[in-house]
Structure 1
Amino acid sequence: MRLRALTALRRLPLLVVILALAGCVVISPFGRGDNDLHETTVQGEGARKILWLPISGFISDAPSQRALGLVQQPSTLATISRALDKAAEDDAIGAVVLRINSPGGTVAAADEIYARIARYRRETGVPVIASFGGVAASGGYYVAMAADRVIAQPTSITGSIGVIIPGVNASGLLDKIGVDNASYVSAAHKDIMSPLREATPEERAIVQKVVDSLFKRFVSVVEAGRPELDRAHLDDITDGRIFAADDALRLGLIDKIGHIDDVLALARESAGVDSARVIRYYQGRSAPDSILSESAAAGGLRLQAAGMPVDLSFESQAAAQPLYLWRPQGMSP
């Protein structure tokens, strides 16, 4: 049964092409064909605005490929940077809500997004609130440290403060099947972290030094963003473990537990208004129709078979690079 399913999956691209030629599948523009960001109101009314800015999935500075490679979507970094640049030009925006639902991602992308948010706050004076969805861990928590206030849902999972560089040693398996490492290197450490051989003690020390440096950066960001953090438990807080919302509140990792209505109430209070329109940015023809809608935030293509949308998305995979990421063993980013 599993073999038949895999065989069918491999044939899917050819099937899509055949159906498209037959007129059964329509490959239609998901967007207008321009690169402009557009604004839509998803809730409320009034002259003042609250920008609802989602940060979802694996945080990266590389575009993601979807729909069997037919669709390329902007990276998290590019999406957030463009949104903040647009928001900075709009004096009607009284508050920004970062809706974070992410296990983290690359160190570089998380740190750059953190810096962009901090710069926006500094240059505009607009308050920023971080609102946690189901998961706001590791790099997802890192970017939240640039916000003025942090609110988690009662069921949010957060924490995972730490660094990981994924690696594997397949040399034992290669020995069993008679495959030798035939790499040529310019110096002893050029192939450091190669999966084809066991690491030397010196190489382990080199990589660990990098991890320790990036971890120190993470902890300093948390300490700067959470002045009320319970430093008596700092070693436990920063050992990579995850926390439920109530423990995160007790330890000072968040300010409050609440739902979306509570987040928006705080945003209005921070903006100094009783009412405001909640807006979202989008690129393309289809505007998000609600706060939590995932519709067409970026341009791309949509496949339809007999009038029904076909979801052919695949998540990006992380290479051997430093990550601020909560990734239980066996999970893809």
Structure 2
Amino acid sequence: MARGPRKHLKRLNAPSHWMLDKLTGTYAPRPSSGPHKLRECLPLVIFLRNRLKYALTKKEVQSILMQRLVKVDGKVRTDSTYPAGFMDVVTIEKTGENFRLIYDTKGRFTIHKITADEATYKLAKVKRVQFGAKGIPYLVTHDGRTIRYPDPIIKVNDTVRLDLETGKIIEHIKFEVGNIAMITGGRNMGRVGVVTHRERHVGGFDIIHVKDAVDRQFATRLTNVFIIGEGNKPSISLPKGKGVKLTISEERDRRRARAAHQCFVDGAYRGLISEDDVEYPEIIDKAKILDTLRLFTDFK
């Protein structure tokens, strides 16, 4: 019979969006208790070692953190398993880099660099609004912050913009039709679009209909929708792709185009294809492409 909290995590049981391979080891870093859930966070050790490649081992990550070089939301963090999560700002002052943890259209945390000005604030979704002891009103955000005496106009599911230095609300974005949102859960995780309709289901889950930048419509639960700006203008910068999910055929075509372009460049480098052919790929002879592909196949 188990006694006490679990202190380990098997690699096969780790969240898939951490993208850990099966053969490197048996265990994965178990996130510490913090503002984000275990399956919705990214520990600093994975961010620094696996994503940024600033370290090779956890011991190297710990030495970086103990120099107090890494800040999350403006506060120094020395715990290698600290659970950074959605909308958190990770700052590395020695390199002058700022990152915001945000999802790509496959539901994974992407390395999204931001400017120093954008790193001064973050967006937070309001999860609860109620009265505390002595009738003091307060709200709770998605990252566990408790803010007392909020504006009475702020309701549940709205988004607030927080100043990371003071922790105070500097802007309020209402949850309403016509505002741009990012999906934070479900099969549409990471997609960005404008809210077009809200289906209310008493005793069940409200369904939100969203339309993205290429006019593709999809629906998800209310709890998965995170408003990120008024109208169709987001209050934060978006990662590559702007939250538009490609179809399987579009991904295939993009993959083929990228491979063909690399083939042209390598062929020109080896003297098999002229620079004019690389500049105008539509005039390349099919035989040249086959010869180049055959050469690289033999080379490998």
Q: Please report the TM-score for the alignment, with normalisation by the length of structure 2.
A: 0.25
* Higher share of residues assigned strand: 2
* Higher share of residues assigned helix: 1
Q: Please report the TM-score for the alignment, with normalisation by the length of structure 1.
A: 0.24
| Relative contact order, higher structure (CA 8 A, sep 6+) | 1
